[in-house]
Amino acid sequence: MTTTEAGSPTAAGSGSAATDKFKNERVTSDTSPERLAAIAKDALGALHKVILDHGVTYPEYRVFKQWLIDVGEGGEWPLFLDVFIEHAVEAVLAQSRQGTKGSIEGPYYIADAPTLSAECELPMRDEDRRTTPLIFSGQVSDLAGNGLGGAIVELWHADDDGYYSQFAPHLPEWNLRGKIVTDRDGRYSIKTIQPAPYQIPTDGPTGAFIEAQNGHPWRPAHLHVIVSYPDKRSVTTQLYFRGGEWIESDVAMATKPELILDPVTGDDGINRVSYDFALDPV
């Protein structure tokens, strides 16, 4: 992973780490040749139409080609695709579900985080303890409201500086990541901290793409979750914080009104919020 002299993570660092992680998955899909041909025809056709409608020039075409090469060499395809494309794929999936609303996974999920019991604290550093604590509790149920004991809540999020463990070299391996097993009623209560908004790294090709069109590189503060249970459809989603900066202008277009938390700050300075998940049948 790349670090600057100050030890802070760079775009090349987080980008290529996301690429290395993804490459190891060796994904497949059973798409037929006919379906692929239809999608490819429409995808290229849409791009051809944009070129004609906007009168795209040769210098612009060549800059585009160079930029595509830079995204690949910088290892930023997972970052770029998950920020700008994934929300549309999630919208397709959402059409077939009734339970808790999903959202995009993003590039920073890591499977096999440490298993934690229903009432737990995510792994964190002393520095994290000096930021705003958050107790996130709730229940996992089926669509009829029956609690699902032994359901798995995988939770991962950025720290108060906006960095994810395993994508920023200064953080312990499993910092702010956990795989929580719900109690017999499907409940959980997880102590963690308030995450900060996430800034797309500005020093790589994804950041250059945003900057070149005077866009902003921010996502609102969020928690990532995947909730699963045998013989139920798992849900991959994100939870945001009411009033949080960038909620109305998420660069990844991944917020939904149903996914906004309203934490209450206690006299002890701890933010508490409850959120329940309902899983669709398979």
Please report how close the Cβ of residue 212 comes to ligand MBD at its closest, in angstroms: 19
Which range binds ligand MBD by CB under 6 A, 89-97, 102-110, 122-130, 257-265? 102-110
The residue with its CB nearest to ligand MBD is 106
Q: Are 221 and 164 in contact (CB under 8 A)?
A: no
In angstroms, the CA 203 to CA 87 distance is 24
Please report how close the Cβ of residue 108 comes to ligand MBD at its closest, in angstroms: 5
Residue from the set 174, 198, 209, 229 that interacts with ligand MBD by CB under 6 A: 198
Find all residues with CB under 8 Å of 11, minimum gap 6, and list them. 74, 76, 79, 200, 201, 202, 203, 204, 205, 206, 207
- With b for 16 or more beta-carbon neighbours within 10 A and e for fewer, the 58-93 pattern comes to eeeeeeeeeeeeebeebbbbbbbbbbeebbeebeee
The strand pair at 264-265 and 271-274 is best described as antiparallel
**Placement of tokens 């149903």 in the chain:** 258
Which range binds Fe ion by CB under 5 A, 9-17, 43-51, 95-103, 106-114? 106-114
Residue from the set 106, 138, 195, 220 that interacts with Fe ion by CB under 5 A: 106
Find all residues with CB under 8 Å of 161, minimum gap 6, and list them. 196
Residue from the set 17, 80, 82, 188 that interacts with ligand MBD by CB under 6 A: 82
Please report how close the Cβ of residue 83 comes to ligand MBD at its closest, in angstroms: 5
Number of residues that bind ligand MBD (CB under 6 A): 11
Residue placing its CB nearer to Fe ion in the complex, 163 or 229: 163
Q: Please give the DSSP secondary-structure letter assigned to residue 99.
A: S
Which range binds ligand MBD by CB under 6 A, 56-64, 101-109, 114-122, 181-189? 101-109
Please report how close the Cβ of residue 200 comes to Fe ion at its closest, in angstroms: 10
Of 96, 101, 91, 94, the C-alpha closest to 278 is 101
Query: Considering the rule CB under 5 A, would residue 78 count as an interface residue with Fe ion?
Result: no
Interface with Fe ion by CB under 5 A: which residues? 106
